[in-house]
Chain A
Amino acid sequence: MPKIKPPVRTPHIDMTPMVDLFSVLLIFLLLTASFRPQEAAVITTPQSVSEKTAPDADLMTIFISKDGKVYFNIDNGKDTSTHFRSKLLEKIGEQYKITFTKAEIAKFGTMSSFGLPVKDLKKWLNTKETKEKDKLQTGIPMDSTDNQLAWWVREARLTNVGAEVAIKGDADTDYKLVKKVMDLLQENKVNKFNLVTNLQKQEVTLKDLPSSGK
């Protein structure tokens, strides 16, 4: 009598613990990832073949939106104990004869880009509702009588001497506004700037050379 072998059953591994582990890992990564602070305006940068990346820290950024509003941002340096933003706010306060409370300075230290005249700063820092806050952001004035952007740039450079300047302009902004910002920077002895762009590779090789018919 032949032996009747029991039917071979494929081993089933219970995957539930593995799924549990993945969920724990995911939650850990989500909590430890720092969120990018919401920028004041939506800006679509133009495209370029440049592959250089912007420096992470010691960078001040001037945003220029499509409708011509100018925003400004500066980070707290590689080591956040340098508190560049708080020092900058104090200096601007001295310049414009506005005193900011410690709470307002601390709050400013944690925020990111802003675009409003200095007189509205106190109100903006104390408003809690985001919609109200956004309404106050009318852009940093750049008129010749009250060139606040020039003050922000100058004081920022004095606060953080090695900071680089980046210009993030929308592709459809009028060039003359960007030129005004660049002229302002050149007057403050900044001759090297980084223009923020999207990467779009363009391969041009020897075979793309037009035939020299001339």
Chain B
Amino acid sequence: MRKIHIANAASRNASVTGVPITTHFEINMGKDGKSATFKRFVAAGENKIDADLFTQFKGEYSKQLIESDPEIDFNSVGRFIESTQSVFLSASGEPLFAAPSVVEVTLDPSGAEISRKAPVEIAPTMDDSIPLRWTGKKMPKGEVVRKFLFKRTMQLMHNDGVTFDFLHAMAKELHDENVMVLLAAGSTGKDPVILQVNGTPYRGFLEGRIEGDKFILLLHLSNMELKKPVVTAKSEGSDE
């Protein structure tokens, strides 16, 4: 759940609740009616992976595998991994004794590096002092779904009677016109919607549905258009 600061077409603002929408389809795996749990486990001990052993034994590697089982570390292999902490190691695999420096690298669609700079902290815009606002850009739903890809959606929910009326009115306007409206963030009204610190920037489109006194108001988030990539590669599909 997130707090969302949003204004309507008349620039009246309120803080409401945004709930992410997920699918409820769930498959459990098992055997003979017994359910199984997906787990990570230790598969090789320290300095026991293939590359380490190859370096260690060189030409004797295959002989050592057969004769002395050097790849098996009985103290750790098979142990379930419950929780871990991520750590950075140097390029040679040694622990770091000081925090690493961080750079932001930009790659073009082909994967080639085009720039490198110090990263800048990006603030979220969802619960900013400046609310998300309606732009003048309203588009028919049929056009929006064929133009943009939406990978995230949040349902806007009221907190009380006043915000119910506020959101219901927005949903009704959009429903009656059968359109979606582009939202803008920031003081200039051109900033994207950003959910969290250093989060992905999105374009946000508001969609409303009405059924009697009930409503659904959805914030659909998109960070790409439906376009063909510039670099074309071989088609996918499974081999016959």
Partners in one complex: no
CB within 8 Å of B: which residues of A? none
Chain B residues engaging chain A, CB cutoff 8 angstroms: none
